[in-house]
Structure formats: C-alpha cells, structure tokens
C-alpha cells in the first residue's frame, strides 16, 4: 500500500480554448474537472498502475465534499482530514497550439488544530503502508517544516518516502532525508541558488543534493525524460518522440511510478524505464494524472536507459 499526501488539494479545471487573449471575454469550449493537487494525481496514477493507494491530506467545504464524491466514484481509496477551509481550484488553460497556462489558487488558510489533527491521523495510517509520497504546496497556516516532520515520522517506521515539492518546503523537507526527491531543473536551481545549463550541470547539481542524504534524486527533463542520480551511479532514461496532449501531471505520474517501483522492489533501471513510460503516457491524455495502459506499454518498449 502506498500513501499519498496532498495538503493543498484542488479541483483541477482544464479549460480548452482556441487562443488566450488578455483583457477579453472568452468562452471555454470544453471544461474538465478532476480531483487534483499533486498527490491526488499520484494516487490516481498508482491505481492506473494496478497498485493500492490511500490518499490523505485535507479536504474542505463544498469543493472538498465534491472531490470526496469524485474520488469515491473513481474508487480511489481516501482518508482525509476535514476542515471548514474551502478546498481551492486550479485552472489549466489549454490553447489549440498546445500552450498550457496554469492559474493556481493558494488555498484557504488552515488552523493549527487542523494541522495537529492531520499529524495525528498521519501517524496512525502510515502503519498500513510501505511507501509514502508527499507532494505539492501547502495552504497558509501550515508551518514550512511540516514535510520535515512527516518524513521524520515515516522514516522512524522504516517507510520509503518520496518528496515532490519546491521552494522552502523542499529545502526544509530535505533535512529529514527522504528516500527520493523529484526536482526539475528549475527546482535544482532554486535549491542550490545557482544557474544550470545543460545535462552535465544538472547532474552536478543533482549529485550535490544526493550528498545531502537522499538515496535517489530523479530529475525530470520534460521531453528529454529523466536522470537518476544515486551514490554509485547516474542513469538517463529517454522516451521516444511523442505528440503530447496535456503535460500537466506528468511529474506526478513519474512520482507515482517510482512509488510503484519501490513497492514492487524494482531495481533502479527498471524503475527509471517504468517511470519515464508512465509519465510520457500521461501526456497523451487530456485528464491530469491518468494514462492508457497500451500507450504506456508501447512507450516502455522504446525507452532508452543509459548509464552515464
Ligand atoms: N513532451 C514529452 N514527451 C515525452 N515525455 C514527457 C514529455 N513531457 C514530460 N514527459 C515525461 O514526464 C516526466 C515529467 O515531466 P516534467 O519534466 O515536465 O515534470 P515537471 O516539471 O515535474 O512537471 P509538472 O510538475 O508540471 O508535472 C518527464 O521526465 C518525462 O518522462
Ligand atoms: O500548488 P501545487 O500543489 O504545487 O500544484 C498544484 C497543481 O498545479 O499540481 C498539479 C500538477 O502537477 C495540478 O494537478 C495541480 O493543480
């Protein structure tokens, strides 16, 4: 069982329009509502992979109740902390030329008692899992070291923990030594406070972060696939060239696939090949955090994994 933590859940609204024009009234051609916030995408993809997950974090107000109904209808197991702070919406505007523009609400503030209640719930439910994923932003009112605390609790019980976040949350979370993190190039730059150009510099940056006490640093590189840096080795997994439909949630799909890899005991190269195939397959569907098995299997056969 894999537990996915989403402190800042959202209803993800994908708006399909011809062309975004600032300052004009625009009618949306098609709107898709999906339970979102990174960890909910992770949970859905784990289910697509055929493994059991339990989604936790916060849901609040009418939007939270609506997300709960959608998760239950999709048979995504969940055990959330409920709050009166309304769950946010995140909007992804998709134009016909493939441009994607995201508008992410901050999320209504949570109270200290909300957070304390969640920490207590988390302590109980992690007994039931082998792997924990912790993803995304947190609403106001949540301390910046929350992920450090959660990772510490999971590691004290010998769970594998994947952390996928950014900014100060990542900086603080790393202090607890998660098993894996999945930064992209921008997140490495922000974490190390440097500019990075080209693959070699990405690898150097990832090696520095790995030495901070993280077993596996997976760096996602969009259409160029992903790098994996461990204490002993560096691998690059490259997907075949594909025409994407919606890339939002592909980082989450990658996290889900690594979590499944840990759960199944895959070795590093198997895990990387699988993660690249699952995340690339996610870009071929309109819904965030979803893939078709036949897409994944076709791409899997064509992923090139190279030891550098
Ligand atoms: N154009 C693409 N073609 C093939 N695979 C892709 C493409 N874009 C993304 N992927 C796959 O998805 C993975 C994650 O994508 P990306 O590097 O964009 O993550 P990210 O920056 O964390 O994105 P996000 O947080 O928006 O989901 C990549 O490592 C790759 O395997
Ligand atoms: O504000 P956060 O938590 O960092 O990111 C939220 C979000 O953009 O991430 C997902 C894509 O990765 C979307 O489903 C969601 O709306």
Give the CATH number of the domain where residue 125 resides.
3.40.1190.20
Longest C-alpha distance within the chain, in Å? 55
- Give me the mean pLDDT over the 189-204 stretch: 93
Which residue's alpha carbon is nearest to atom 7 within ligand 1? 223
Is the CB of residue 133 less than 8 Å from the CB of residue 275? no
Spatial separation of the C-alpha atoms in residues 59 and 88, rounded to whole Å: 9
User: CA 57 to CA 51: how far, in whole Å?
Assistant: 20
- Beta strand pairing status for 30-36 and 226-229? unpaired
Residue 286 pLDDT level (bands cut at 50, 70, 90): confident
- Residue from 12, 114, 164, 252 carrying the catalytic annotation: 252
pLDDT digits (tens, 9 = 90+) for 1-41: 999 999 999 999 999 999 999 999 999 999 989 999 999 99
Whole-angstrom distance, CA of residue 164 vs CA of residue 144: 14
Given a cut of 90, whether residue 226 has pLDDT beyond it is: yes
DSSP letter (8 states) at residue 158:
T
Q: What is the mean pLDDT of residues 287-297?
A: 93
Integer Cα distance of 166 and 276 in angstroms: 21
Cα gap 151→154, rounded to integer Å: 5
Residue 64, pLDDT > 90, answer yes
Q: Is 38 in the pocket of ligand 2 (CB under 6 A)?
A: yes
Contact 213, 276 (CB under 8 A): no
Which tens digits make up the pLDDT trace of 69-104?
Answer: 999 999 999 999 999 999 999 999 999 988 889 999
Mean pLDDT of the chain: 95
Shortest-distance Cα residue to atom 15 of ligand 2 = 37
H helices present in 232-303, as ranges: 250-264, 268-282, 293-302
Q: Among 43, 90, 222, which residue has the most ligand 2 atoms within 8 Å of its CB, making it the best to mutate?
A: 90
Residue whose CA is at the smallest distance from ligand 1 atom 4: 223
What is the span of the domain harbouring residue 143?
2-307
Which pairing describes strands 180-181 and 160-164: parallel, antiparallel, or unpaired? parallel
Among 12, 184, 22, residue whose Cα is nearest residue 95: 22
Chain Cα centroid distance, residue 36: 10
Query: 288: pLDDT confidence band, cut at 50, 70 and 90?
Result: confident
Find, among 198, 282, 272, the residue nearest to 237 by Cα. 272
Domain count for the chain, please give it.
1
So what's the pLDDT on residue 98?
Answer: 85
Whole-number percent of the chain with pLDDT over 90: 94
Whether 252 is catalytic: yes
The two structure tokens encoding residue 133: 């994923």
Q: Which residue's CA lies nearest to atom 3 of ligand 1?
A: 223
- Alpha-carbon dihedral sign for residues 186, 159, 289, 281: positive
Task: Tell me the Ramachandran region of residue 243: left when phi exceeds 0, alpha when psi lies from -120 to 50, beta otherwise.
Answer: beta
177 lines ligand 1 (CB under 6 A): no
Over pLDDT 70: what percentage of the chain? 100
Cβ atoms of 248 and 100 within 8 Å: the answer is yes
What pLDDT, on the 0 to 100 scale, is given for residue 229? 97
pLDDT at residue 230 tops 90 = yes
pLDDT at 159: 97
- In Å, how far are 74, 83, 95, 116, 299 from 63, measured between CA atoms? 16, 11, 26, 22, 36
Residue range 119-146, pLDDT digits in tens: 999 999 999 899 999 999 999 889 999 9
Structure letter (DSSP) for residue 175: T
d(CA 250, CA 286): 11
**pLDDT in the model for residue 248:** 85
Ligand 2 nearest atom to the CA of residue 10, by list position: 16
pLDDT tens, 44-60? 999 999 999 999 999 99
225 in ligand 1 pocket by Cβ < 6 Å? yes
Return the best residue to mutate from 36, 162, 163, 246 for the ligand 2 pocket (most ligand atoms within 8 A of CB). 36
Determine the distance separating the centroid of ligand 2 and the alpha carbon of 100, expressed in angstroms.
13
Distances (CA, A) of 27 to 15, 19, 90, 264: 9, 10, 18, 46
Cα–Cα distance, 36 to 43 (Å, whole number): 10
Is the confidence at residue 270, as pLDDT, over 90? Answer: yes
Reported confidence tier of residue 214, pLDDT bands at 50, 70, 90: very high
């Amino acid at each position: 069982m894999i537990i996915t933590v989403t402190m800042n859940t959202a209803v993800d609204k994908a708006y399909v329009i011809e062309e975004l024009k600032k300052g004009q009234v625009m009618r949306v051609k098609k709107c898709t509502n999906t339970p979102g916030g990174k960890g909910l995408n992770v949970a859905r993809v784990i289910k697509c992979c055929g493994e059991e997950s339990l989604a936790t974090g916060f849901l609040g107000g009418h939007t939270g109740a609506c997300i709960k109904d959608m998760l239950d209808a999709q048979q995504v197991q969940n055990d959330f902390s409920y709050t009166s702070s309304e769950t946010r919406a995140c909007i992804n505007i998709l134009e016909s030329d493939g441009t994607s523009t995201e508008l992410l609400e901050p999320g209504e503030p949570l109270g200290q008692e909300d957070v304390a209640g969640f920490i207590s719930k988390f302590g109980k439910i992690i007994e039931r899992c082998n792997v924990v994923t912790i993803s995304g932003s947190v609403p106001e009112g949540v301390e910046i070291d929350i992920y450090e605390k959660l990772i510490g609790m999971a590691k004290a019980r010998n769970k594998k923990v994947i952390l996928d976040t950014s900014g100060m949350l990542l900086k603080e979370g790393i202090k607890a030594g998660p098993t894996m993190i999945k930064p992209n190039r921008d997140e490495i730059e922000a974490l190390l406070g440097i500019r990075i150009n080209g693959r070699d510099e990405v690898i150097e940056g990832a090696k520095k972060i790995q030495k901070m006490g993280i077993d596996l640093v997976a760096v996602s590189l969009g259409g160029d696939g992903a790098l994996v840096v461990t204490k002993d080795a560096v691998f690059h997994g490259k997907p075949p060239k594909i025409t994407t439909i919606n890339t939002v949630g592909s980082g989450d799909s990658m996290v889900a696939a690594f979590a499944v890899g840990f759960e199944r005991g895959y070795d590093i190269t198997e895990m990387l090949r699988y993660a690249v195939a699952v995340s690339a397959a996610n870009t071929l569907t309109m819904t965030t955090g979803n893939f078709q098995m036949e897409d994944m299997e076709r791409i899997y056969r064509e992923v090139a994994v190279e030891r550098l």
